[in-house]
Structure 1
Amino acid sequence: MILSPETADESAYLAADDVIDHGHPLVRQTAALLRSAAPDRAGYARAAFEFVRDEVTHSTDADDPRVTCRASEVLGERTGICYAKAHALAALLRAEGIPAGLCYQHLGVVHGLVALKLPGHGWARQDPRGNRPGVDARFRLDAEQLAYVPDHLAGEFDYPTLYAAPPGAVLAALRQAPDRARLDTTLPVTL
């Protein structure tokens, strides 16, 4: 998948904002812990991906009613849907100076991913949603191994835009839902 960054200014993919709050103490602490065991930048990126994929539960899989949005909130509560987990991974990557953006798939509803950029590699999409039977997402720089492959015959597709910040439709869904049951009924079907 060839991604189209929404801006040519790569610093936008390193910036902190209200959602990708990589300056927050919990994000910094988590990044430092992961960095201490990583041999290099690619190793750190893999460790951050695996941490979010495996240690932050997907709230639907866990039947957790909480809705999280901010990266620090996701890491603190250790739960979130795909969008929230993508926010946490993007923050952990940016905390260590690795450009990271948000990208999406249309799978009936919008599904959230992260793309990162390391020296010697273009943008590489990663899906930290969390594995379960039938879902086996892995950190790969050479080829994608995402949770889902869009079924083009069913109208599913990859959005080509690489966002520096979450789109309004994603933020509105997360911020307006009082719990995950309500969120499940209001997930965006388009960006």
Structure 2
Amino acid sequence: MSLLTNVYHLRRVADTFSKACLICHKPSTSVLITPDNRDFFYVCPAHLQDRHFCSPIINAEAEAARRKEEEMAKEIEKVKKEYEDKQKRKKERAAKDGKEKKDDKDEGKSKEEEKERDSKGDEKDRDDKIDSIRKAGESKADDSQRVFALHKNFYQMRIDRLRNIEMAKRNQERMKNPALFPSVPKRDL
């Protein structure tokens, strides 16, 4: 039996496939699995935060992904500020134009309608840009996998469990072998 590596990847399953948590036995959709798929178990997300159960393995890729998310959040804020500034400028222009052209009310109404259309178009553009940035960020965040190392006691429990399973399989095979049992004596005493 080769030793099990103490590296577990966090996976999510559908709600219909939830099973009991290893620790608290509540239904959970989070699964910790080894890279070679030899061992897996269900665990609650709250237990992943417990430093006595497991600790996250931080790699450079995860750090880079986190930084990109922060940059995207800053970019979203920047887009929002730009939009608000545009709206303020348009209101100021509208106020100036309103003062200058009080005489032509009919023309003013058509211009106001055009301004409303422009502002709705700008709002839609802003929302589309923000949505595209968020979707790009979400797709990258979903692809990144969280990696954990179990605390030594829990890791030893997993190794013992795998050893017991292998021993039970070996014992079953031995029991099927007729040479294992003693034979009946062939001579009289």
Common topology (TM > 0.5): no
* TM interval, short-chain normalised: under 0.3
The TM-score with structure 1 as length reference comes to: 0.21
The TM-score with structure 2 as length reference comes to: 0.21
Q: Rg larger in 1 or in 2?
A: 2
Q: Which has the higher helix share?
A: 2
